[in-house]
Amino acid sequence: MIENYIKTISNLKSSLYQKDFLLTWKKTKDELEQILYIAEVIKYLRDNNISVRCFDSGLAISIFRDHSTRTRFSFASAANLLGLEVQDMDETKSQIAHGETVRETANMISFMADIIGIRDDMFLGAGNAYMREVGKALDEGYREGVLPQRPGIVNLQCDIDHPTQSMADLLHLKNYFGSIENLAGKKIAMTWAYSPSYGKPLSVPQGIIGLMTRFGMEVVLAYPEGYDLIPDVIELAGKNAKETGGSFTISNNMEEAFSNADIVYPKSWAPYKVMEQRTELLKKKDNDGLKELEKECLANNARFKRWECTEEKMQLTNNRKALYMHCLPADISNISCKQGEVQDSVFERYRIQTYKEAGYKPYIIAAMILANQFEEPAKIIEKLYKNSHKRKVS
């Protein structure tokens, strides 16, 4: 199997080398599949105590402009597995920094960096832009001889996309349904769900509809009126679906979305108009305005408490047993809150599945790093496989 996977990786046409991974829709289908296969081989090697270390030293810089535990650990795990040491750039106080500061800082932290992971999802219109700005600064630094290499950038979540999450989700689906080909025609319901908190980013639903429409799936996006995503991504999802023979529809009815679905992904988010307002208020440091907005939004959310993934709704799905997905942590009714995104018994039934879903993320990130760093990733993995150097002595 592994040898076949390596062959597949080698045969897929890809120009991931030295290219930042910012949006799944800027990558070809072959490139996305290459990432999946590399991730699987890395997982196989790790599971079989074969070292995947391809750096004897080197730094993986992480810039988190928002709190994070699981993505932080996934990035650290991936980096460590390949032989890179994580160095955190502390920017917890999320700011909208531009211009000289970004340009300079990007270079100052990169003299010995091989990869940079960035999470910046708080400000609509700013997160992805920041990553591109860092990228341009690195291009200049490398071109001008400041940097001995151009470190790659991996988007660990921005305002638009969350590619390490959606790709981990895709790998989970691939293995759950047996193959990528099997995903064609499967119905996935990416639906809004009620949560007692507010301001959750749009990157997960956007990432899901932007990616799953690439593989011929029947993608339904459902949300209460007003909870729109960024129009550009909506447009893109429609275009993707047309090109791959799948479909993309929007519904304002959770039951309709669940009806006959093979996969359900119920998750809270804030309307992009609200995220826009919030970004403006954050920029102005208008704390009163922010409190007012939060109050309004929570009140609005509360009108849609019936948007919960219940046993009853699960009965509507294909064979009554659609796969439940979540990027975690979920707001579980009676467990993490009084009422939330999902009924406790539904979550409990799929709990281990959601853990497995999350478990692909470190491997996806490792694959993204490897594909960014090596022109012929298949050659590198084959070498690691043949060497069979043990990760842990025995």
Residues binding a second copy (CB under 8 A): 46-47, 51-59, 69-70, 73-74, 76-77, 80-83, 85-87, 89-90, 99-101, 104-105, 107-109, 111-112, 114, 140-141, 144-148, 328-329, 332, 335-336, 352, 355-356, 358-359, 361-362, 373-374, 380, 383-384, 389-394
Nearest approach, Cβ of residue 169 and a second copy (Å): 15
Nearer to a second copy, 127 or 141 (CB): 141
| Angle, alpha carbons 114-116-120 (nearest 5°) | 175
268, 269, 271, 276: CA torsion to nearest 10: 160
Smallest distance, a second copy to C-beta of residue 166, A: 18
In the complex, least distance from residue 335 CB atom to a second copy, rounded to whole angstroms: 5
Q: What string of DSSP letters covers 310-330?
A: -HHHHTTSGGG-PEE---S--
Q: How far is the CB of 362 from a second copy (least distance, A)?
A: 5
Which amino acid does the sequence have at 295?
A: K
281 φ, ψ (degrees, to nearest 5):
-65, -40
Query: How far apart are alpha carbons 81 and 52 in whole angstroms?
Result: 6
* 282: region left, alpha or beta (phi > 0 left; psi from -120 to 50 alpha): alpha
In whole angstroms, the minimum distance from the beta carbon of 125 to a second copy comes to: 22
Nearer to a second copy, 105 or 310 (CB): 105
Minimum distance of a second copy from residue 244's CB (angstroms): 31
Q: Which is nearer to a second copy, 99 or 231 (CB)?
A: 99
Nearest to 7 by CA among 307, 377, 354, 345: 377
By beta-carbon proximity to a second copy, the closer residue of 117 and 210 is 117
Shortest separation between residue 114's beta carbon and a second copy, angstroms: 8
Sheet holding 323-324, edge to edge: 247-251, 218-222, 187-192, 263-267, 323-324
Instruction: Judge contact between 70 and 328, C-beta under 8 A.
Output: yes
Nearer to a second copy, 25 or 347 (CB): 347
d(CA 309, CA 281): 32
CA-wise closest residue to 78 among 43, 44, 50, 127: 43
Minimum gap (Å) between residue 278 Cβ and a second copy: 25
Closest CA to 28 of 13, 10, 11: 13
Q: Which is nearer to a second copy, 30 or 88 (CB)?
A: 88
Q: How far apart are the first and last CA of the chain?
A: 25
- Which single residue is written with the structure tokens 């060497």? 387
Q: How far is the CB of 134 from a second copy (least distance, A)?
A: 14
DSSP codes joined into one string, 113-124 = EEEEEEEE-SST
Toward a second copy, which CB reaches closer, 118 or 237?
118
Q: Which is nearer to a second copy, 129 or 335 (CB)?
A: 335
Between 233 and 367, CB nearer to a second copy? 367
